[in-house]
Amino acid sequence: MKARKKSVSREGGAVAVLTVMIAGAAGCAGPESFTVSDLCGRKVDSALVAPFLPEGETLKVDDGISAPGQPRCQVYVGGDLHLYVRGNIDKADFDILKATERSMRRLGNPAPVDGIGDGATIADRGAMAVQACTYKGEKRQYILEIDRVDHPANTVERREALQKLLRAHLPVIMKAEGCRPQ
C-alpha cells in the first residue's frame, strides 16, 4: 500500500488538506481509503474517524461553515455526506439532552451513555455530549454533536465507533475553544 498526499480543493470556505491512502497495489485504479486527522480545525486520531469513511473516489472535509465558538465540519466521500460534526458553547441553564430528545430519536434508538462529559446520548446514526465549562469567566456548557452517520453498515459497530469518537473529541474541541471543564 503506497501513501501519497492529496490536496482537496476549496469550495465556499476553508477545506482541510488531507492525507490520502491509496488502496491496493501501486498502479491499480479504484476506490481509495482515506485518512482524516483534522476535524473542524482540531487534531483528531484518524483511527477514530476511519470507521465512518467508506472507500470512494474523492474526499472533501469542509470546515468553512464554522464560526467562533461554533466549530462545524462536514466530511464527504464520493460527494455524499458521511459525517457532520458540530460544537457549540451555550448557556448553562437548560438541559440540552432533554431539549433535543425528539431530534435524537430521528437518529434511531437513542440511549444514554455514562462517562462522557456530563451526559451523552448515542443513537444509531449520531451522538451528542454535553459538558459544563467556564468560557470567558462565565458558566456555560459545551455541546458536541455528530450526525449524518451511516457507515459502518453494522449498527452495533457504528454506535461503538460514535462513542469512541465522542469520548475522545469532546475534551479536545472544548480545550481548543477555550471552554474549561468545571
Task: Please check the confidence at residue 179 and state whether its pLDDT lies above 60.
Answer: yes
C-alpha 92/C-alpha 108 separation (Å) is 27
Strands (E), 57-126: 59-62, 72-77, 80-91, 111-113, 119-122
Average pLDDT, the chain: 82
Express each pLDDT in 21-51 by its tens digit. 323 333 344 566 788 988 888 899 999 999 9
130-141 pLDDT per residue, tens: 999 999 999 999
Domain ranges of the chain: 3-181
- pLDDT of amino acid 31: 64
Alpha helices in 21-134 (DSSP H): 46-49, 96-99, 101-105
The mean pLDDT of 142-163, rounded to a whole number, is 95
Are 110 and 86 within 8 A, CB to CB? no
Look at residue 17 in the predicted model and tell me its pLDDT: 32
